[in-house]
Amino acid sequence: MTSSTANRRFLPTSPFQQVSQAPVEKFSVDDLLTHDRYGVGRVVGLGADNKVHVDFGAGVQTITLPNSKVTRL
């Protein structure tokens, strides 16, 4: 039998914090963003499953969102 965190109840008296998922930021084609490793880039395409294709000048990278290294400009 497998357990799923989506089906578990949160008990208000629990000493553990409830984990909430951060909302996924939506990007559009031609949006500018910065990445901690690749630098400044422009969104050139949108993929399935929260993926964006970003042109950083040296090449196009596919980034899965949410990503803590990505910031919208």
What is the CATH classification number for the domain harbouring 46? Answer: 2.30.30
54 inside domain: yes
* Residue whose C-alpha is closest to residue 42's, from 69, 64, 73, 67: 73
* Alpha-carbon span 55 to 38, nearest angstrom: 10
48 inside domain: yes
Range of the domain at 53: 22-72
11 inside domain: no
Residue 2 clears pLDDT 60, i.e. is over it: no
> Domain total for the chain?
1
Quote helix, strand, coil % in the chain, to nearest 5.
5, 35, 60
User: pLDDT-derived band of residue 55, with 50, 70 and 90 as boundaries?
Assistant: very high
Q: For the chain, state the CA radius of gyration.
A: 17
Any idea how long the chain is?
73
60 inside domain: yes
Task: Answer yes or no: are the C-beta atoms of 52 and 63 closer than 8 Å.
Answer: yes
The pLDDT, as a whole number, for residue 23 is: 73
What pTM was estimated for this model as a whole? 0.67
